[in-house]
Amino acid sequence: MRIVDTDYLIIGSGIAGLVSALKLSKKGKVIICTKKQRAESNTNYAQGGIACVMAATDTFNDHIKDTLDAGAGLCNVEVVTKIISEGPERIADLEKLGLHFAERSAESGGGYDLGKEGGHTKRRVLHAGDITGRKIEEVLLDRIHADSNIRIKEHTMAIDLITTSWLRGAGSNRCVGAYMLNTSEGEIFAVRAPVVILATGGGGKVYLYTSNPDIATGDGMAMAWRAGVPIKNMEFIQFHPTCLFHPQAKSFLISEAVRGEGAKLVDSAGKSFMEKYDARGALAPRDIVARAIDSEMKSKGAPCVYLDIRHKPEDYLLARFPNIYATCLKFGINMAKDLIPVVPAAHYFCGGVEAGVDGSTALPGLFAVGEVACTGLHGANRLASNSLLEAVVCAHEMSEKILKIKLDTEDSRIAIPDWQYGAAVPSDESIVVEHNWNEVRTCMWDYVGIVRTDKRLERAWRRIRNLRQEIRQYYMDYLVTADILELRNIADIAELIVRSAMDRKESRGLQYTLDYPDRKDSPPPHETVIADQPGSHL
């Protein structure tokens, strides 16, 4: 088996992974492994922007308060304060790399064209039109292309982390690399490194309906859990309230910025309904808006609700939301003249691998940054556009910490055994993978969605456990493919979500259960941490 050595292995090519690579390449060799093309990441699909205090009328305290309010009493105040107060410096870093944020015209006073989104009391969302994430990816990848210390391996998917306790069976434990699958050629090889960084994003594909791209299968969280790393607060899945409802519009998001510019949520008769649920109307935090839409749809038997921004002129919509406008028009919807049909969809994981702002985890040698990590910033519900802020700040803090680490450790060149194929054969039953894939996602949507009950969670628990056993057997019997790896990972993530949701006997933030509709603040709210021994998951 081929073994590739490097100083830093980064798994994932979104903003968190790319910013980390550019900083770490100053001291050593970096390999970035990404399972599709290098630009394919959740970052690439981020429309809204980056929340950051940039206006004279805004303050860090205002942004901190908004974040804490959205987080429903479960945010780590120190983490929130650090990430928000460091935001302007990290925005300056991105601008030095060549990123340009939208600005207001001179007639409007100049300066940044700051947007406002749900849960924010001030305009503080920096954006580049409605394709902010794509612009960030382009700038960072251009810089990486020019850096001789960074190599990107596309179509390369991580199978599992490699740890010294697994290799030796005793002694101190640390992460020393990962087994990888070249999905184009089918080759399995290992990347050996004293520092391994998970920047794999979230796992929206565990749900039947999601705003996430197909790559979002929770790979990093699942690998970390299988390696015995604690996973925290997985019950808090944010459902974005407004995904475009159209049979051909796969996972297309209608940015919260559209509501920030005055769009109302209305029913099929054009009647606004959010005022019944929250005084902030369509700009209430996402958990409230998603539950309100879910309630409206169920009470009226409606397949969707609608966004109404017809009061804005067409030229304004074309300039502010060019990508959204063009996509809606492709499906026969003119934002300036028509109501936009929308439904909630799984969007963001507030939980994940338990990690510090500096990316450190319970497993030495392993770091986690971005959506894959749970730092304490988001608590029980993420404030809109805080995710890219967290990614860029934590990537900086993590890199600063790693650069101080001496890399020539005893374990950095430990012998890694060849991948064991055993009696595995090529699969002739790929239909089983497709059926299990659909069953996991349908089960999660039906029983572990926006509104939960004990009975639904118990049903989900039984089904997911059985499915995981079937998937495990399939994984052992057949040669590894990307499809089976992703299926294995979403099933693992599904179990983590269900177990965490069953442990929280209250409604808080994104966890809403009919059996425990009230929020319990006495005693102080707990965090749901799952820390199983490696290999104990079945």
Q: Residues 382, 510: one domain? A: no
Domains contained in the chain, number: 3
Q: Residues 252, 149: one domain? A: no
Please give the structure tokens belonging to residue 134: 């794509």
CA neighbours within 13 Å on the CB side: how many for 535? 4
Q: Residues 50, 98: one domain? A: yes
Q: Residues 114, 249: one domain? A: no
Q: Does 419 map to a domain?
A: no
**Of 320, 345, 370, which residue constitutes the final position of a domain?**
345
Q: Residues 52, 122: one domain? A: yes
For 160, the 3-state DSSP assignment is strand
Q: Residues 309, 328: one domain? A: yes
Q: Which of 411, 407, 400 is nearest to 360 (CA)?
A: 400
- Whole-number Å distance between alpha carbons of 199 and 219: 10
Give me the torsion for CA of 530, 169, 222, 475, rounded to 10°: -130
From the centroid of its chain, how far is CA 357? 16
Q: Residues 162, 215: one domain? A: yes
pTM over 0.85: yes
Instruction: Confirm if 193 and 6 have CB atoms less than 8 A apart.
Output: yes
Q: Does 336 map to a domain?
A: yes
Strands 352-354 and 373-374: parallel
Q: Does 525 map to a domain?
A: no
Q: Does 212 map to a domain?
A: yes
Give helix 15-24 / helix 132-145 axis angle, nearest 10°: 30
Strands 150-153 and 30-33: parallel
Q: Residues 310, 266: one domain? A: yes
Q: Residues 227, 95: one domain? A: yes
Q: What is the pLDDT along the chain (538 residues), one digit of tens a residue?
A: 999 999 999 999 999 999 999 999 999 999 999 998 776 766 666 667 899 999 999 999 999 999 999 999 999 999 999 999 999 999 999 999 999 999 987 877 789 999 888 889 999 999 987 778 889 999 999 999 999 999 999 999 999 999 998 888 767 899 999 999 999 999 999 999 999 999 999 999 999 889 888 899 999 999 999 999 999 999 999 998 999 998 888 778 898 889 989 999 999 999 999 999 999 999 888 889 999 999 999 888 899 999 999 999 999 999 999 989 999 999 999 999 999 999 999 999 999 999 999 999 999 999 999 999 999 999 999 999 999 999 999 999 999 999 998 876 566 688 999 998 877 888 777 788 889 999 999 999 999 999 999 999 999 999 999 999 999 999 988 899 999 999 999 999 999 999 999 999 999 999 999 999 999 998 888 999 998 877 555 4
Q: Does 416 map to a domain?
A: no
Q: Does 370 map to a domain?
A: yes
Q: Residues 61, 151: one domain? A: yes
472 is catalytic: no
Q: Residues 340, 261: one domain? A: yes
Q: Does 538 map to a domain?
A: no
CATH of the domain at 309: 3.90.700.10
CATH of the domain at 196: 3.50.50.60
Q: How far is CA 60 from CA 339, 390, 393, 400, in A?
A: 36, 15, 15, 23
Say which of 259, 286, 291, 504 is annotated catalytic.
Answer: 286
Q: Does 423 map to a domain?
A: no
Which domain range does residue 500 map to?
430-517
Strand boundaries in 474-514, DSSP class E:
none
Q: Residues 138, 32: one domain? A: yes
CATH of the domain at 495: 1.20.58.100
- Residue type at position 262: G
- Whole-number Å distance between alpha carbons of 389 and 10: 19
How would you list the strands of the sheet with 30-33, edge to edge? 150-153, 30-33, 8-11, 195-198, 366-368
